[in-house]
Amino acid sequence: MTSPSLLDLREQVWRANLGLVRAGLVTLSFGNASGVDRRAGVLVIKPSGVPYDTLRPEHLVVVSLEDGRVVEGDLAPSSDTPTHLLLYQRFPDIGGVVHTHSTAATAWAQAHRSIPALGTTHADHFHGAVPVTRELAETEVTGAYERETGAVIVETLARLGLSAVEMPAALVASHGPFTWGHDAEEAVVNATALETVAEMARQTLALNPAVESMPSYLAEKHYRRKHGPDAYYGQKRR
Ligand SMILES: [Zn+2]
């Protein structure tokens, strides 16, 4: 795969940010998408505090993947940039990151509950329950808060033995969801899927509080037909 030029990446990340709004995932101004060019050693992210309706590709900020320095752009990057940066540093296979405060997924994060796999919509996107992190300690919040937010996501997946590819989402306790993917566009798709399955799970548990996770053979079937080496769902990628 060839890396898109920085111009293409700006355009792609700009579209991803607008895609979050279009998908109804942005509450107030809480929401940001980024994308990475690993060959160039940079990530491109939404600037801080610029309204979505006036956002243009040239407003996006280019940040060094190594140390978080702004290498291109006149505006300050999103305050969540250190979280995105840490995820790119620790998950080498991902190319896009999204953070929102979408209502249903945030409700699970606030309830300190992972989202159980209850049906095939979930299994199509996430390999098992979508995990929730532990609460950040006071020293982590008063210290490098945004970077610690990324670190607790990495810690959570490691503790559960999950790769970032099989689990492209996590709920940060008392905060909200982060998702990622091969690129910014896929991270938006995963944020949309996450919000959908979060709402479906909430309604399912309201109807039947005793419901159990779906059978693993059904979950595996759905995950593998979209993501496994023998995936056959959708059109063949050329
Ligand atoms: Zn947030």
User: To which residue do tokens 């505006």 refer?
Assistant: 75
| 215/108 Cα distance (integer angstroms) | 22
Q: How far is the CA of 219 from the centre of ligand 1 (A)?
A: 30
Rounded Cα–Cα distance for residues 212 and 69 (Å)? 47
| CA 146–ligand 1 middle distance (angstroms) | 9
Identity of residue 65: L
The phi, psi pair for 151, rounded to 5°, reads -65, -35
CA of 134 to the centre of ligand 1 (A): 16
Catalytic, out of 8, 74, 145, 233: 233
Q: In which band, very low, low, confident or very high, does the pLDDT at 235 lie, cut at 50, 70 and 90?
A: low
In the reported structure, the alpha carbon of residue 172 is separated from the centroid of ligand 1 by a whole-number distance in angstroms of: 9
Residue 156 has what pLDDT? 98
The CA distances from residue 131 to 18, 39, 75, 179, 200, in Å, are 27, 31, 34, 11, 16
**Cα(226)–Cα(217) distance, rounded to whole angstroms?**
15
Q: Residue 1 has what pLDDT?
A: 42
| Residue 52: active-site member | no
**Helix or strand (DSSP H, E) at 74:** none
109 close to 171: Cβ distance less than 8 angstroms = yes
Q: Please say if 80 is a catalytic residue.
A: no
Q: Which of 80, 124, 145, 230 is catalytic?
A: 124
Of the candidates 144, 176, 189, the one whose C-alpha atom is nearest the C-alpha of residue 22 is 189
* Threshold 0.75, pTM exceeds: yes
Ligand 1 geometric centre to CA of 177 (Å):
8
On the CB side of 181, CA atoms within 13 Å amount to: 22
175 C-alpha vs ligand 1 centroid, how far in Å? 6
CA distance 11 to 27: 23
What pLDDT digit, counting tens, does each position of 143-194 carry?
Answer: 999 999 999 999 999 999 999 999 999 999 999 999 999 999 999 999 999 9
Which of 70, 62, 85, 71 has the alpha carbon at shortest distance from 6? 62
Residues 91-139: tens digit of each pLDDT: 999 999 999 999 999 999 999 999 999 999 999 999 999 999 999 999 9
